[in-house]
Amino acid sequence: MKQKIFVSRAIFPEVLARLEQHFEVQSNQEDRIYSADELLAAAKGRDGLFTTPSEPVTAALFAANPQLKAVCNMAVGYNNIDVAAATAAGVMATNTPDVLNETTADFGWALMMATARRITESEHFLRAGKWKKWSYDSFVGPDVHGATLGIIGMGRIGQAIARRSLGFDMQVLYHNRSRLKPEQEARANNAQYVSKEELLKRADHVVLVLPYSKETHHTIGAAELALMKPTATLTNIARGGIVDDAALIEHLRAGRIAAAGVDVFENEPAFKPEFLSLTNVVLTPHIASASTPTRLAMANCAADNLIAALSGQTPPNLLNPDVVKA
């Protein structure tokens, strides 16, 4: 008799078909966003959950579903899962690291360059029929080549972003919970480890690539933005909540930093409507990993984790190994 799983969001049909070879699958292919209570109810009688960051996987869910063995998130981030509660309940929790590193780094560069070179703003100007003549100061912005790049969060994605800077002849500064090994710094365009404050003061372009947690909430707030150069840009491809969005809006409105590229927001998909009145911000709807090969690889990685977990194996991307030790 097949074990039962619930797939909480629409996924690629071929991945769903693969899961159906192993499990009795109930899926949310209509792609409705489930509340915490709705997900709790959908987990009834299920051995495993295939989730995404939009669904809150809470201690209450684990308490109401003692039969649950695994929750497998289709994302690198997993702040939607109460991992401590999962561990206490004996439930394996997994994520999908590595498969999106290069695509996300590509997008980080795309967003940073669009921000620096005012691409969105100038396109809106053109589409509105306002382009009547060439001007020496029309949509001028800071250079990327030869500039100083500051990366906060120097994990695999941060290092991939740093490697790309070599072709732009940039100096790389980084801040991280711990310093990289010398050989890692060398591969990351000879990145220099500095304090967060020094990075913000010196960098021409700041890119955020750190995971969200209580400790990293509002890593960039009003005090940090005040340290940045008025000509600097800020790019957030990390998670909503890393930046105090209200403070960012105020600094952009006042011209205290030049521009920002924002792919993630506090309380997304809701976001502060004040962003829409600003011309010096590039806004995208959490699409840093959105290439077809990468999203398919993420879905298959989550499926791999779920198949392993419910087959009595240790899943390759287990977040709480204490469950297996127990």
Q: Which of 202, 239, 251, 295 is catalytic?
A: 239
Q: Which tokens is 36 given? A: 């915490």
Half-sphere exposure (CA, 13 Å, Cβ side) for 123? 8
d(CA 72, CA 302): 6
Q: Which of 22, 163, 217, 286 is catalytic?
A: 286
Q: What 3-state DSSP class applies to 159?
A: helix
Nearest to 71 by CA among 87, 48, 90, 55: 48
* Cβ pair 271, 293 in contact under 8 A: no
Angle (CA) 200-183-148 rounded to 5° is 25
Tell me which long-range contacts 282-288 makes (C-beta under 8 A, separation of at least 24): 282/111, 282/114, 282/115, 282/119, 282/120, 283/120, 284/111, 287/107, 287/263, 288/100, 288/103, 288/104, 288/107, 288/108, 288/111, 288/237, 288/263
Q: Which of 24, 250, 268, 274 is catalytic?
A: 268
Catalytic annotation present for 123: no
The one-letter amino acid code at 22 reads: H
Q: What is the CA radius of gyration of the chain?
A: 21
Angle (CA) 244-260-144 rounded to 5° is 140
Catalytic annotation present for 251: no
* Cβ pair 262, 285 in contact under 8 A: no
Catalytic annotation present for 239: yes
Residue 247's CB: how many other CB atoms inside 10 A? 17
d(CA 214, CA 234): 21
Q: What residues act catalytically?
A: 239, 268, 286
